[in-house]
Amino acid sequence: MPAKDTHQQKVSKTKKIKVGGAGDTIEKVLKKTGVKKVVEIFVNGKDCGCEKRKEWLNDKLPNRMKVKCFTEKQYQQWQLFKLNRTIQLNEKQTKYVCDLYAEIFMKPVWYPGHNESIKPLILMIDRLDIVYESYN
């Protein structure tokens, strides 16, 4: 259950959640170095087992992040957001996601520019979903 909306709990209630792991890190390195493309060409579209290995590594060596707990109000607002979100977020929804992410993950606020990739925004939503689902 999310923390109640009190100043003390907003400041002190934190927990650790699993977000990715060693498999995701290795995949990023392989993409940046071009090895992933070479493997994809070599296997010619067949399954090479990379995804299974990534999941196994994530399970065995997870990354854990310290995050603030949702307040009751934040939990309810995210629940509504999940029910009503669409593929294309409007400016107000984007600001909401970025502001909430910054507060929960104790990071500086970042907003995507007009010509920037939305991948960081998608990652924020995925991680906020993980926090939300950790209450179930």
In a domain, 127, yes or no: yes
In a domain, 37, yes or no: yes
| Full-model pTM | 0.62
In a domain, 29, yes or no: yes
In a domain, 34, yes or no: yes
In a domain, 2, yes or no: no
Structure tokens at 8: 């003390």
In a domain, 48, yes or no: yes
CA distance 107 to 67: 10
CB atoms under 10 Å from CB of 9, counted, come to 15
Q: Is the model's pLDDT at 79 over the cut of 50?
A: yes
In a domain, 86, yes or no: yes
What amino acid is encoded at 135 in this protein?
Y
Which pLDDT band, with edges at 50, 70 and 90, does 1 fall under?
low
CA distance 73 to 58: 32
The H or E element containing residue 92 is helix 91-104
In a domain, 1, yes or no: no
If one counts the domains in the chain, the total is 1
Domain residues for the domain of 55 are: 7-133
Q: Is the model's pLDDT at 9 over the cut of 60?
A: no
